Amino acid sequence: MTCNPRLSRRWAAGIFAGVALAALPALAGDRFGPRADLERLSGTYASAAPEPWYGGYGTRRFTFENGRWSLVFTHALDPAMQRRTFSFRTDGPYRVGAPSGSVAGAFEAVFSEDVKRVTLLTDDPAIIQAFGFAGCGLTFNVEVDISARGCAGWKPVSVCRDDHDLIAIDAAGLYFGVRPRDNDMCSAERRPTALLMPVVRQ
């Protein structure tokens, strides 16, 4: 999921602050499982509880099968996830690359997004404007395919298909990288250098 600088500046200005999730401390390499476990992922991994995201809260739900991945990310303004704002859904193939030079035991990975979809979950004009959704042609509670033209912080698939991330696995769950403040991971140079808290096997 990628975000343009314009939207990021709005969050940073206090309308919706940037990602607030803390990185994990440095971990010993023997904590994490081998690359083979990551290459043959199967099943669903999800947030154990709502997490701080974008000045509010969010839940991540990843599903893996036959070398493909999917993500459903849902955002809300409150920790009970009652004041929901939007949901983002994407899927595509993924590949695991070289060991990370930043986090021992983690691996570089590329998560391709064949399609990007957004569902607007609020009808509050101020929130819609603040998130940059006003010009996206979204309708409340209707999923819209934004793959071709993008929307707010999401670039079109033709411009940014690949998310360059980190991945690791252990008994606690599956780990991904801490996203940069502008959320842009469209190139290898933008790959994270630390891990988020894990999503848990369902």
Rounded distance, CA 79 to CA 172, Å? 22
Cα torsion angle, 20, 73, 161, 108, sign: positive
**Coil/strand/helix, residue 35:** helix
pTM of the predicted structure, to 2 decimals: 0.86
Q: Are 50 and 76 in contact (CB under 8 A)?
A: yes
Q: Is the pLDDT confidence value at 28 over 50?
A: no
Q: What percentage of the chain has pLDDT greater than the value 70? A: 85
Give the pair of three-digit tokens for residue 142. Answer: 């209707």
Question: What's the confidence (pLDDT) of residue 54?
Answer: 85
Per the DSSP assignment, residues forming a β-bridge with 119 are 87, 143
Q: How confident is the model at residue 183 (pLDDT cuts 50, 70, 90)?
A: confident
The predicted structure's pLDDT at residue 27: 45
Mean pLDDT score, 8-33: 48
Cα–Cα nearest to 100, from 47, 154, 50, 167: 167
Alpha-carbon span 58 to 81, nearest angstrom: 8
Residue pLDDT, tens place only, 32-64: 999 999 999 999 999 999 999 988 999 999 999
| 3-state percent breakdown (helix, strand, coil) of the chain, nearest 5 | 10, 40, 50
Average model confidence (pLDDT) for the chain? 88
What's the CA gap between 87 and 193, in Å, rounded?
Answer: 26
The 10s digit of each residue's pLDDT in 111-166 is 999 999 999 999 999 999 999 999 999 999 999 999 999 998 899 999 999 999 99
Banded pLDDT at 14 (limits 50, 70, 90)? very low
